[in-house]
Structure formats: structure tokens, C-alpha cells
Amino acid sequence: TNELKLLYEGKAKKIYEKSSDEVIIYFKDDVTAFNGIKKDSIIGKGKINKLITSFFFKMIEEKGIPTHFISDVDDNSFVAKKVKIIPLEVIIRNYTAGSFCKRYGIEKGIKIQKPIVEYSLKDDDLGDPMICKNVILSLKQVEEKILNRLEYYSLKINNILSSFLEEKNIILVDYKLEFGIYDNKVYLADEISPDTCRFWDKDTMESLDKDVYREDKGNLIDKYSEFLRRINI
Ligand code: C5P
């Protein structure tokens, strides 16, 4: 990937230009938390997150939801469609945890009967503020029919992932999705990995995700590897 033009570098990924309509996404070993205040490089993390992301994206595509994933390249990278990222983070919650508990003063680990879909504006300088649908529409961030599609896809993805993980005795607590547009069509983009989801062992409620790093409660590679093992890849 050395000769390819670097289009964008984020906290955990690099995006290289492959052609006019394709990019190569490289998963870095870097890990950050609290909007970059805590950061480290953990050897092997990029490879695990790339494996998990391509596994889930293939599964989601097979269920009829378009994703940016095209093909695997190597341990740390895959080819993806060059979508235009919609500047929203879509957060889906099945159990109370994280900022939801903090914001509303609620105990962690309570099952939410009807999954909650929240939106944040993707803006590091503003600290990714939470935003409601009406504000998204009035700021003309996204058209209404696109926003409705994001929500429809997000809930469908929630069913696909939750039921798959349930069979592995893992609870899908909450996670973040990003979407992009290509030819006026909505595609699931970015990643789905232990960096962007909360996964709990159903029996022990132990975290198999980035909370291990955020809360200093164990070895990140051990937990991410255990998640890999549990989903059989
Ligand atoms: O921090 P909070 O509890 O709102 O996060 C909800 C879910 O979204 C968690 O699984 C977290 O890993 C994910 N998330 C993310 N990137 C962000 C914010 C949240 O992957 N910028």
C-alpha cells in the first residue's frame, strides 16, 4: 500500500485511494479512548478488527443490506467502495451502558425492550454531540428519506447481529454504525468490531470489547481473541 495515495487517517484506520471508485481500508494497531485522551498501540489489534469487520460485513451483505466491503487484501486491509461518509454516528442500544447510563443516571446492564437508535454529529472538535432527527433535518445534514433508510438498516443489522451473537452466548449491548452514499444509494461503511461495539459474555457479563481498555480491566488482545474464537473465525 506504500505507493497508494493516503486519503484520510483516523484514530484507528487509514484510507488509501485504490481507484476512482475504490479505496483500501487499513486497520491500525492504535487504540484510543475518551476522544483521544488515552491512546496506545497494541500489536495485533488491527488484524483482529479487520477480520471481525469483514466477517460481519459479508454476513450483513448476504442478508440484503449494501455494505462498502468489496474484497479482502491482506491481514490488515480490505478493498471498499469509495462512498461519501454521512457525518453521523448511529448508535444502537439493546442494554444500558456507557454514556447512556451517565447521561440519564441509570444502572448498567438493564435490557432495553425496544432497541434505541441515537445519532451523534461526527465532529471531533465539538466532541461528537448527540443530535436528534429534527435537528439533523433542519441543519440539512441528511435528507429525510436517507435518514429513514439509515434507521431501517440499523434496526435490521441489529436483528442480524443480535441473533447471531445470541447463539454464541454473547450479548450485543450497544454499537456504533456509519453509513456512506455512492450513486445516491446508502451503504453501511466504516467498521463493526470490538472497538465500536460492546459485547458481554451472557453468563459472566464480562466485556469482550474496548471497555477492557477504557476501564483498564484486562488484556485487550486476550479479550478480542476470545471474541474471535467464540464467533468461530
Ligand atoms: O460511549 P457510548 O456509551 O455512547 O457508546 C455507545 C457505543 O458506541 C459503544 O459500543 C461504543 O463503543 C460505540 N461508539 C463508537 N465510537 C464513538 C462513540 C461510541 O464506536 N465515537
Residue-level pLDDT, tens digit, the chain, 233 residues: 468 999 999 999 999 999 999 999 999 999 999 988 999 999 999 999 999 999 999 999 999 999 999 999 999 999 999 999 999 999 999 999 999 999 999 999 999 999 999 999 999 899 999 999 999 999 987 999 999 999 999 999 999 999 999 999 999 999 999 999 999 999 999 999 999 999 999 999 999 999 999 999 999 999 999 999 999 87
Query: Is ligand 1 within 6 A of the CB of residue 214?
Result: no
Query: Is ligand 1 within 6 A of the CB of residue 196?
Result: yes
Q: What is the pTM of this model?
A: 0.97
Phi, psi of 105 (to 5 degrees): 65, 45
Is residue 116 a contact partner of residue 92, using CB atoms and an 8 Å limit? yes
Using alpha carbons, select from 16, 67, 60, 42 the residue that is nearest to residue 195. Answer: 42
Q: Which residues pair with 9 in a beta bridge?
A: 14
Predicted ipTM > 0.95:
yes
Q: Which residues pair with 16 in a beta bridge?
A: 6, 24
Q: In angstroms, what is the span from residue 3 Cα to ligand 1's centroid?
A: 33
Query: Is ligand 1 within 6 A of the CB of residue 200?
Result: no
Cα end-to-end distance, the chain, whole Å: 25
Cβ contacts of residue 139 below 8 Å, gap of 6+? none
Query: Is ligand 1 within 6 A of the CB of residue 100?
Result: yes
Q: Which residue's CA lies nearest to atom 18 of ligand 1?
A: 176
Query: Is ligand 1 within 6 A of the CB of residue 91?
Result: yes
Query: Is ligand 1 within 6 A of the CB of residue 198?
Result: yes
- Rounded CA-CA distance 36/104 in Å is 24
- For the CA of 173, the closest atom of ligand 1 is 10
Note the maximum CA span of the chain: 50
Q: Which residues pair with 81 in a beta bridge?
A: 22
- Rounded CA-CA distance 197/161 in Å is 11
